[in-house]
């Protein structure tokens, strides 16, 4: 379970997150949609403290961290409960696929090498990369790199997976491959918070859509409601722009 309460984040003079509150239940998949520059990436980065919000509380399961009083130890504890998948994969370039996946298990979880390799191989099999375990990221396609990044994140057994536009750097074919992998991972019941521009995918996979604009959540609800019958005019306009031709209520 992820709970974000009243999160505020400022860059310079600009308040990018202006009091964000949301919840993602166990096994729930929530997708964040919204215009560019709205603070979606910043929100995910604040959830796992890659950015430090000025105000607000992030809770994952039984670990709750108040941004104003957060200590290093508490933040580390919280970070271990979430996994992040970035737009540009962020794999270690000088490590093989297998080493990328075992790294966190060895360094953070301090597992014995054989056990780490066993977990990593199981995850690589899940994402269809078993035959590439000895390859370096530069030898893989973008889609394969992103699948390796997903394997790396889920190998740590996070309570929630945060994905920031996982397919936006990929062409449609590779994108499909990665979306298939995410779908498969989702079937295992891991909670996910996905920022995506893939509206059809969001519709299909998510239990809930969160529409964000200018640092606030404008509206959230089940995909059917948000896409077909939004309550807010702004949501309606955003959706309409995505589906100008066949939009109907």
Residues forming the site for ligand ATP (CB under 6 A): 11, 16, 36-42
Which tokens go with 228?
């077909």
Q: Which residue lies nearer to Mg ion by CB, 39 or 56? A: 39
Q: Which does 16 bind (CB under 5 to 8 A by kind): Mg ion, ligand ATP, none?
A: ligand ATP
Half-sphere exposure of 148 (CA within 13 A, CB side): 32
Q: Which does 138 bind (CB under 5 to 8 A by kind): ligand ATP, Mg ion, none?
A: none
| CA terminus-to-terminus distance, the chain | 33
Binding range to Mg ion, per CB under 5 A, among 33-41, 62-70, 119-127, 239-247: 33-41
Q: Which does 104 bind (CB under 5 to 8 A by kind): ligand ATP, Mg ion, none?
A: none
Q: How far is the CB of 165 from ligand ATP (least distance, A)?
A: 6
235 binds Mg ion (CB under 5 A): no
Binding range to Mg ion, per CB under 5 A, among 39-47, 52-60, 122-130, 219-227: 39-47
Q: What number of helices (H) and strands (E) belong to the chain?
A: 9, 10
Torsion of CA 83, 223, 58, 127, to 10 degrees: -10
Contact 193, 206 (CB under 8 A): no
Task: Say if strands 55-60 and 2-11 run parallel, antiparallel, or are unpaired.
Answer: antiparallel
Q: Which does 37 bind (CB under 5 to 8 A by kind): ligand ATP, Mg ion, none?
A: ligand ATP
Among 20, 22, 28, 41, binds Mg ion (CB under 5 A): 41
Other Cβ atoms less than 10 A from the Cβ of 152: the count is 28
The contact set with Mg ion (CB under 5 A) reads: 41
């Amino acid at each position: 379970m992820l709970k974000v309460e009243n999160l505020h984040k400022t860059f310079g003079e600009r308040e990018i997150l202006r009091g964000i509150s949301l919840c993602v239940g166990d096994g729930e998949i929530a997708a964040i949609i919204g215009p560019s520059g709205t603070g979606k990436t910043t929100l995910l980065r604040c959830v796992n403290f890659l950015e430090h919000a000025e105000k607000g509380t992030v809770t994952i399961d039984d670990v709750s961290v108040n941004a104003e009083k957060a200590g290093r130890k508490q933040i580390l504890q919280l970070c271990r409960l979430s996994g992040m998948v970035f737009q540009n994969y962020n794999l270690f370039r000088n490590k093989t696929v297998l080493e990328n996946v075992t790294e966190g298990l060895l360094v953070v979880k301090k597992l014995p090498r054989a056990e780490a390799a066993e977990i990593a191989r199981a995850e690589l099999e899940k994402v269809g990369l078993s035959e590439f375990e000895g390859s370096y990221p530069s030898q893989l396609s973008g889609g394969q790199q992103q699948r390796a990044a997903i394997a790396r994140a889920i190998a740590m057994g996070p309570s929630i997976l945060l994905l920031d536009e996982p397919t936006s750097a990929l062409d449609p074919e590779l994108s499909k491959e990665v979306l298939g992998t995410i779908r498969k991972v989702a079937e295992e019941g891991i909670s996910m918070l996905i920022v995506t521009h893939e509206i059809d995918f969001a519709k299909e996979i998510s239990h809930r859509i969160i529409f964000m604009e200018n640092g606030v959540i404008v509206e959230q609800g089940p995909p059917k409601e948000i896409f077909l019958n939004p309550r807010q005019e702004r949501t309606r306009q955003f959706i309409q722009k995505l589906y100008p031709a066949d939009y109907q209520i």
